[in-house]
Amino acid sequence: MTTEATSSISNKRATSALQMGPRKKASSSDPLISHGRHFGRTVFALCNYPSLLTNGILRLEQMEETPLEDFSAEEQREHRVFEQLLDSYPGLLERLRNGSEEEILHVGELIGKGAAGARGDDTKSLKSAILDWISLKGDPIQPPLHRNSKIDRGFNHRLTGSLLCPAGLDWDDEETRENLRSGEISVCGDQWPIFLYASSIYDAEDPWCGLLRSRLLTCAYKHVFTSPSSVDKDPKATRSGNARLHGMNCVTTASIAYIATQVRFALSSSSVFSRTDTSTDSETFYHSLLDLFEDPDETKEVADLLTWWNRQVFPTSSAAKRPISANSALSKIRIKRLAAKHAADSNVAVGSS
């Protein structure tokens, strides 16, 4: 990259790339658009991709003299996302390093177009589908909720309100309901709704218990990643839909956060997914889940969560396999076979000495 291009890019670097940028149209068709759809769903959803690329290229040069650990926490996260993007698309780094500033921005716009398109498609499809999962089959929602309008959702309706109620608050308390509806109680993005928990049960003494293991989340995940028809069926060895299209055979933490963000928005009364929408505060919510997943102190819990998710969505993948029970016949067969192999190896070693 030329000095002039680097200088020009440096002057444009003003905001974090891990925030949604202004909407732009990319007219050209390119495989990067398809890649952007999957990357946004599974690695980082709410991202300004032109800034991500320009910042990342500059940071690579700076890291020749300054280790990544010396950058801010936000820049470190941004660079991890940048590296994941490079790893997921062979030849991208070379294309960026050899390209002009305009080429880098164009590549970012193509990836961003894909990510935004996927997000818009999922928002549209979940808007209607969510109503099929929030009540028992054969039990109509009362009062009825409209599939094409969201004005009566959110805290305006007893059912969606009960699911969006922040964990720790009592939706059955009339005063709490009224304060949530009126806005007297303001709900920030990092106040997680009860629908994230299995059976909507929150244990204040053990807040990890059931977290992100609700049926509503798994239904939405299958709807987006495997296929809408897979939601009510038992998982099978074959995969279809977006996961199969992109060779996806295991769940990512970012994809869980993405689906949780989409479900939360689908239940809300907001009509347009926007970074400036303070009522849903979707970006804060999404980032708060990523913060949890990336916390080194939560490694074991996150690993257990991923294993659980893989059993729900990709049960035949290696990521979903349970360890063999210690006292099972299979474990004893393998122990005996291993012992016999060690004995044979020892005899060979003695004979050759």
Each residue of 127-157: pLDDT tens digit? 999 999 998 877 899 999 999 999 999 999 9
Q: How does DSSP classify residue 319?
A: G
Nearest CA among 286, 214, 212 for reference residue 254? 286
- Split at pLDDT 50, 70, 90, the class of 239 is very low
CA distances from 134 to 33, 92, 126, 202, 258 (A): 33, 42, 12, 18, 19
Nearest CA among 188, 175, 353 for reference residue 282? 188
Q: How does DSSP classify residue 325?
A: P
- Residue-level pLDDT at 230: 83
Would you say 156 and 268 are in contact if contact means Cβ atoms under 8 Å apart?
no
| pLDDT > 90: percent of the chain | 69
Asked if residue 106 has pLDDT above 70, the reply is: yes
Report which residue type is found at 93: L
CA distances from 105 to 18, 58, 197, 308 (A): 16, 14, 40, 39
